[in-house]
Amino acid sequence: MRSDLFLIICLIVAGVVFAAAVLLGNDYYFFAGYVVLQYVVLSTAWNILGGYCGYVNFGSAAFFALGAYAAVAVHRFNPLPIPVLVLIGGVVSGIVGFGMGYLTLRLRGAFFAIATLALAVVLQTLVVNWEYVGGSRGAYIVRPEAIAPLGSYIRYLFLIMLLLAVGAITAARLIERSRLGYGFATIRDDELAAEASGVPTLRLKLIATTISGALMGMAGAPLPYYIGFLQPSSAFGLDYAVNSIAMPLIGGTTSWVGPLIGAVLLGSLQQIATVTISSAVNLLIVGFLLVGFVIIAPNGIIGLVHRYIRHQPDKLVGRRHVNIDAPGSTR
């Protein structure tokens, strides 16, 4: 399917989702849906570096929170419309992503993961000590009551996140099917052989960290408006890190579909659990699902579908069923 057609379909689906939420009449669905959509963006972003390239980022929360804090910082200076803040968040986190990549991408897999964790804490410490955005005490952002013609402000935020999610998925799919996606796959499979085949691995890895970071920053930018009170301990929370890893792993890391499935399923599950049981149990469920899936179904839900419905052996990735005569699978 061509990418522009895919985008149109996504937008139509998004429109349907929005309309359905409006029809349900309860603003709660917008609040809950916002979180799920936010995770769609985070998981998709994480998967670009983690699933496609094989580099595990434990510091997702940092890029996410930086987007939020960039928005706060700019808001304090001069309140700009949210879409602009989203772009700013993306730029800030993209730059940090590039910087992180530059510092750490020469490291072997496990070291890279640990370095991302370290970076997240360093960034968090910097923010905690930055009085302009409230430091450890936090920052209040007043959410406007309503915005025409959508109604309550939360609908506006929901719409923004919906469009971001569409954008993230489309971008991931585009990358997957392009020369870049092939390059990412070789980095994941065998970096040494990739270099020997002419793949500029460092450059591609930097592209991956930058895009991944930027998307996470964009997802974080509207957060201050959503929760009204931004605190480093919650914005940098490990919950974001664990979810952005668990959702792609549970959904399946080999294509854009996996993070989407993982985010929608796991995100909804957590929203239900928060309301019915408690929010601590949330993370327990996530932890168990993560461990369970990783042991039993390493290819995630996508892998299970392949195994049971298509009756094909559980190939470790097989996202491209290439026919030697297949046209148009590369630009």
Partner 1 sequence: MYSCSGPGWGMIFSFDLLVNAIFSGILIGAFYAAVTAGVSLSFGILDVVNIAHPAFIILGSYIAYVINARLGLDPILASIIVTPGFYVLGAGIYQIYYASFEKRGQESLRGLAFFFGLLFITEVSLVLYFGVDYRYVEAAYIGPTWHLGAVDIPLRVLVPCVVSLLLIAALQLLLTRTFVGRAIMAVAQDQLALKLMAVDPIRIKRIAFGISIATASLAGAFLIIIQPVEPSVGREYIGRVFAICVLGGMGSLPGTLIAAMLIGIVESVTSTFYGPSWAPAVSFGFLLLTLAVRPAGLLGR
Partner 2 sequence: MTAMLEVDGLGKRFGGFVALEGISLSVRAGERIGLIGPNGSGKSTLVNCICGTLRNEAGTVRFDGQLLDGATAHQRTRRGLARTFQLPRPFVSLSLADNLRIPLLYTVAARAGGHRSVSEIVQRCGDLLREVGLERKAARLPRELTQVEMRKLELARAMAAEPKLLIADESMAGLTHSEVEEILMLLNRLNEQGVTIILIEHIMRAVMSFSQRLVVLVSGRKIADGDPNVVMRDPEVERAYLGQ
- Asked whether 154 and 34 are in contact (CB, 8 A), the reply is yes
**Number of CB atoms found within 10 A of residue 309's CB:** 8
Q: Does 318 bind partner 2 (CB under 8 A)?
A: yes
HEC string of 161-228 equals HHHHHHHHHHHHHHHHCCHHHHHHHHHHHCHHHHHHCCCCHHHHHHHHHHHHHHHHHHHHCCHHHHHC
Q: Does 50 bind partner 1 (CB under 8 A)?
A: yes
- Asked whether 228 and 141 are in contact (CB, 8 A), the reply is yes
- Asked whether 153 and 4 are in contact (CB, 8 A), the reply is no
Strand runs (DSSP E) across the chain, as ranges? 139-140, 146-147, 151-152, 229-230
Site for partner 2 in 200-219 (CB under 8 A): 200-202
**Half-sphere exposure of residue 162: CA atoms within 13 angstroms, side-chain side:** 21
Q: Does 314 bind partner 2 (CB under 8 A)?
A: no
Which residue, 4 or 325, has its beta carbon nearer to partner 2? Answer: 325
**Half-sphere exposure of residue 216: CA atoms within 13 angstroms, side-chain side:** 36
- Asked whether 64 and 217 are in contact (CB, 8 A), the reply is yes
The region of 6-14, 79-87, 131-139, 260-268 touching partner 1 under the rule CB under 8 A is 131-139
Sign of the CA dihedral with 99 first, then 103, 106, and 112 last: negative
State the Cα–Cα distance between residues 225 and 155, nearest whole angstrom.
12
State the Cα–Cα distance between residues 71 and 80, nearest whole angstrom.
9
Q: Determine which residue in the list 139, 286, 301, 302 makes contact with partner 1, applying CB under 8 A.
A: 286
Residue 276's identity, in one-letter code, is T
Binding mask 223-262 for partner 1 (x = CB under 8 A): ---------------x---x--xx--x---x---------
Q: Does 193 bind partner 1 (CB under 8 A)?
A: no
- Asked whether 271 and 37 are in contact (CB, 8 A), the reply is no
CB of 202 to partner 1, least distance (A): 15
- Torsion angle, CA of 284/33/227/125, rounded to 10 degrees? 50
Q: Determine which residue in the list 37, 41, 54, 247 makes contact with partner 1, applying CB under 8 A.
A: 54
Q: Determine which residue in the list 47, 104, 186, 210 makes contact with partner 2, applying CB under 8 A.
A: 186
Q: Determine which residue in the list 173, 188, 205, 306 makes contact with partner 2, applying CB under 8 A.
A: 188
Q: Determine which residue in the list 102, 152, 167, 195 makes contact with partner 2, applying CB under 8 A.
A: 195
The region of 52-60, 156-164, 208-216, 303-311 touching partner 1 under the rule CB under 8 A is 52-60
Q: Does 312 bind partner 2 (CB under 8 A)?
A: no
State CA 64 to chain mean position distance. Answer: 9
State the Cα–Cα distance between residues 115 and 97, nearest whole angstrom.
13
Q: Determine which residue in the list 199, 214, 218, 289 makes contact with partner 2, applying CB under 8 A.
A: 199
Q: What does 281 interact with, of partner 2, partner 1, none (CB < 5 to 8 A by kind)?
A: partner 1
Using CB under 8 A as the binding criterion, the count of chain residues that bind partner 1 stands at 44
Which residue, 237 or 318, has its beta carbon nearer to partner 2? Answer: 318
* Site residues (vs partner 1, CB under 8 A): 50, 54, 56, 58, 103-104, 107, 109-111, 113-115, 117-119, 121-122, 124-126, 128-129, 131, 135-136, 238, 242, 245-246, 249, 253, 280-281, 283-284, 286-288, 290-291, 294-295, 298
Give contact residues for partner 2 (rule: CB under 8 A).
Answer: 179, 182-183, 185-186, 188-190, 192-202, 254, 315-318, 320-330
